[in-house]
Structure 1
Amino acid sequence: MAYTRGNLAVKEKTATRGQNPRYRETTKVVTRRSPLPIREKLLYMVTILFCVGIMGGLLWQNSQLYDIKRQAFNLNTEIQNINVQVKELSIQKEKLEERIPEEAAKLGYVEPVDEGVHVQVPNSTTTENQASDVATVR
């Protein structure tokens, strides 16, 4: 053993200075997280379920609104189509009304001279509600 600066209890480190050691001792700090308590887990789960429920409700409400708007749009287009058909049919009705006198003349009908139409009702078919035997229509 060599004398090192007046102390004989010190080991010599000459053999390990120049060489790499075969293994290197490393320490790794491992921190373990403590598990969450059951109450805290339940709180998180209830919070998440609440948020999912609110989002689901909003989606359902928006889908209902979309359906209502779509139905209103379809009804508006149907109303426009029906209005077009009504205009076409009213034009066709006017054309047919203009042809009535011509067709009646062809068939031999004539316009009455006096106003109103007199209808004779026989006594055997009268009911209690009829007031007279002759009805006048104007």
Structure 2
Amino acid sequence: MAYTRGNLAVKPKPIERVSPGYREQTKVITRRATLPMKEKMLYLLTVVICVAVAGLIISRYANIYDINKQSEKLGEEIRKNQLLVTQLEVKKETLKNTILATAIKEGYVEPTEHDTVYVPRSMVTPEKEISNIDSAQK
């Protein structure tokens, strides 16, 4: 057949349409190729490794967060204890300053340099002394 497309020397033939009794329909079915088992396992392994690494990172951050919280609590406790220590030091100084006046008021006399102070020995062992002190504090 002669080249007719774009050639003016040839007269185009009319296309005859013949309609058959039925219209043939074609349906295109595209089949996706399935992945091989090795490739599926590779993808699954990749996902599992990514999840494991993410879990490890998240657990480390949770550990760091917990340690930071504990250090904040300890810092607060240290500040409270320092405040308590300063208050007790002030109380100690005031008691030191008032002990002499209280002793004189109770009738105690300050010994001179040449006076000897005798302290009687007690028959109490250290264990009994500790238990006596504990019972006296209660």
**TM tier relative to shorter chain:** 0.5 to 0.7
Q: CA deviation at 1:43?
A: 0.5
Equivalences, count:
107
Supply the RMSD in Å over aligned alpha carbons: 2.9
Q: TM-score, normalised by structure 1?
A: 0.65
CA distance in structure 2 between the aligned counterparts of 1:32 and 1:101, rounded to whole angstroms: 105
- Residue aligning to 2:39: 40
Q: TM-score, normalised by structure 2?
A: 0.65
Consecutive unaligned residues of structure 2, counting only runs of 5 or more, are 1-15, 124-138
Structure showing greater radius of gyration is 1
Q: Percent identity?
A: 38
TM-superposed CA distance for 1:73, in Å, is 0.8
Flag structure 1 segments of 5+ consecutive residues without an equivalent: 1-11, 17-22, 126-138
- Secondary structure of 1:33 counterpart: coil
Residues 31/13 of structure 1: CA separation in 2 closer, same or farther (3 Å cut): closer
Letter in 2 for 1:53: A
Rounded to whole Å, the distance in 2 between the matches of 1:89 and 1:39 is 74
Correspondence 1:71-82 to 2 at 5 A? 71-82=70-81
Alignment-derived partner of residue 111 in structure 1: 110
Structure with larger RCO (C-alpha < 8 A, sep 6+): 1
Cα 1:105/1:118, change in 2 over 3 Å: closer
Letter in 2 for 1:89: L
**Bigger mean CA offset, 106-115 vs 43-52:** 106-115
